[in-house]
Amino acid sequence: MANGTQAAGAAGLGAQERFGGRFYPHELINSGGMADIWLVSDERGKHFALRKLKPKFRFNLRARRRFVRGCQVLSQLNESEFIVGYVEHGKLDGTLYLLMDYIEASNLKLLLARQDPVLTENVAQILIDMAVGLNEVHESGFMHLDFKPENILVTGNGNVRLIDFDLAQPMLEKPKKMSDNPGTPGYMSPEQLQGKPIDARVDIFAYGVAAYELLTNRKPFPGETPADILGAQLEPAGPIAPREHNTDIPAALEKLILKCLERDPDRRYPFVSVLVRELQSVLYV
Quick check: 60 and 54 in contact, CB under 8 A? no
Q: Report the distance separating Cα 231 and Cα 274, nearest Å.
A: 29
Quick check: 51 and 76 in contact, CB under 8 A? no
In the annotation, is 146 catalytic?
yes
Q: For 119-134, b where at least 16 C-beta lie within 10 A, e where not — what string?
A: beebbbbbbbbbbbbb
Over its C-alpha atoms, the chain yields an Rg (Å, rounded) of 19
Quick check: 52 and 68 in contact, CB under 8 A? no
Quick check: 49 and 103 in contact, CB under 8 A? yes
Query: For residues 36, 211, 121 and 47, what is the CA-based torsion angle, rounded to 10 degrees?
Result: 20
Q: Report the distance separating Cα 73 and Cα 141, nearest Å.
A: 9
DSSP codes, 135-164 = HHHHHTTEE-S--SGGGEEEETT--EEE--
Residue of 146, 164, 166, 203 marked catalytic? 146
Residues identified as active-site: 146
